[in-house]
Amino acid sequence: MLAAEASVKRRGKDGECLRSEKKRRQEDEIDVDLDLSSDIKGIISALNQIRDKAQKDEQKKNEETIRSVASEIKSMIDDAKSKFEKERQSFHKALSRVLKSMKVL
């Protein structure tokens, strides 16, 4: 009977060893899953930061383009005003000459 009891005790200990080994494996898998989850969260966070920076960069480029176009338009308007003023002065001179010549007659 001592041999049978020893056999049962060994099996019990082996069964406990197997259970504790399975438990350790499960805990290791959970740790790996948590590590992967943490890594994935870090990657997602980094990607979000990259996207935000790209959007800010794109916004800055758009603002620079708008400023540049606005400057060009302002320059074109100033040129048109200058040309218009020159034409107005020329027309005024011509009209003045015509009026003077009419008074002389």
User: ∠ CA(67), CA(72), CA(77), 5° rounding?
Assistant: 125
Residue 46, domain member (yes or no): yes
Structural domain count, the chain: 1
Q: What is the pLDDT of residues 41-97, one digit of tens each?
A: 899 999 999 999 999 999 999 999 999 999 999 999 999 999 999 999 999 999 999
Residue 31, domain member (yes or no): no
Report the sign of the C-alpha dihedral through residues 58, 59, 62, 64, in that order: negative
Residue 48, domain member (yes or no): yes
Q: What pLDDT is recorded for position 1?
A: 47
Residue 18, domain member (yes or no): no
Residue 63, domain member (yes or no): yes
How far is the C-alpha of 65 from the C-alpha of 59, rounded, in Å? Answer: 10
pTM over 0.75: no
CA dihedral 90, 95, 97, 103 (to 10 degrees): -170
